[in-house]
Amino acid sequence: MSDQRIAGDDLTVWTYDWVPEGPRGRVRDIRLRWALEEAGLDYAVRTVPFEDRGPEHLARQPFGQVPFLEDGDIVMFESGAGLLHLGRKSETLMPRDPRGEAEVTQWLVSALNSVEMVTVPWWFVKVLGAPENPLHDWMMRRFDMLERVLEGREWLAASRFTIADILMADVLRIPNDLGKLENHPALRGYLRRALARPAFERARADQLAHFEAADATRSEDRRTAEEKD
Ligand SMILES: N[C@@H](CCC(=O)N[C@@H](CS)C(=O)NCC(=O)O)C(=O)O
């Protein structure tokens, strides 16, 4: 976590206690961790069970997902909402002037509602093993248009790195890893710049370490249970 601690904040990122190997490094709590690392805000990470999603979890995330963010007596779900909340706390993450804030908000929502709304279903169809993915062309059209935007600028909004970039870059990671940005050099360059940021590297390393530690705890719990039987 960040060395820069800011007194007075009582921020907790909630994630799962464990996930299988596949999603590690990609669980969406990384979006909140990344923003908090960028801002140098102190935070804790706490967990809900992955395998047994009980009423306490559902009361705070009605879809039984993660992440959710706790800030004192405020608890909110949806990674985008959490990022906007953090953006309002730290000028590092979102400018204070209304024009800058509007730009950041529109690009952050577009990452979710114009790009992730096709990349996630595209990925699900791919995982199901369909020989032809009917969402491929639609996704590519979105990438083509975003490519034109990013040919002319380093970051999406307000002429600097913001929470809009955290969200857009994270959304682009899976298609990039699956080779879908091959014909989009500006998007690849943008993603490279974003993922090279030390705050992202720390957030990813912390998430990987969190789930690795969870493996050790699970093995220990299993051993104890076997000994009892
Ligand atoms: N729109 C939600 C999506 C959250 C989401 O998909 N979380 C995944 C982890 S990255 C999850 O909890 N998956 C388990 C499930 O959907 O049951 C957000 O951005 O917070």
Residues framing ligand 1 (Cβ under 6 A) = 27-28, 64-66, 78-80
Kind and range of the H or E run holding 48: strand 43-48
pTM of this prediction? 0.94
In this structure, what are the phi and psi dihedrals at residue 154, rounded to the nearest 5 degrees?
-80, -45
- The single-letter DSSP state of residue 157 is B
Write down the pLDDT at residue 9. 67
Give whole-number Cα distances, 88 to 83, 85, 91, 193, in Å.
9, 5, 7, 24
CA of 188 to the centre of ligand 1 (A): 25
Q: In this predicted model, what pLDDT tens digit does every residue of 172-194 receive, in sequence order?
A: 999 999 999 999 999 999 999 99
The C-alpha atoms of residue 105 and residue 113 are separated, in whole angstroms, by 12
The C-alpha atoms of residue 4 and residue 71 are separated, in whole angstroms, by 18
Q: In this predicted model, what pLDDT tens digit does every residue of 1-39 receive, in sequence order?
A: 333 344 446 999 999 999 999 999 999 999 999 999 999
Record the tokens describing residue 162, joined without a space.
């913001």
CA of 27 to the centre of ligand 1 (A): 8
Q: Which of 119, 123, 140, 154 is nearest to 184 (CA)?
A: 140
- What CA dihedral angle connects 155, 193, 185 and 112, to 10 degrees? -60
CA within 13 Å, CB half, 30? 27
List the domains of the chain with CATH numbers: 11-92+200-228 (3.40.30.10), 98-195 (1.20.1050.10)
Give whole-number Cα distances, 117 to 113, 121, 139, in Å.
5, 7, 9
CA of 20 to the centre of ligand 1 (A): 14
Q: Which residue's CA is the nearest one to ligand 1's atom 6? A: 65
Question: Which of 66, 163, 170 should be mutated for ligand 1, with most atoms under 8 A from CB?
Answer: 66
Angle between helices 136-151 and 117-127 (to 10 degrees): 140
Per-residue pLDDT at 225 exceeds 80: no
CA of 22 to the centre of ligand 1 (A): 14
The C-alpha atoms of residue 94 and residue 120 are separated, in whole angstroms, by 26
- What is the torsional sign of CA 186, 167, 50, 129? negative
Burial class (CB in 10 A: 0-12, 13-18, 19+), 153: exposed
Q: In this predicted model, what pLDDT tens digit does every residue of 38-66 receive, in sequence order?
A: 999 999 999 999 999 999 999 999 999 99
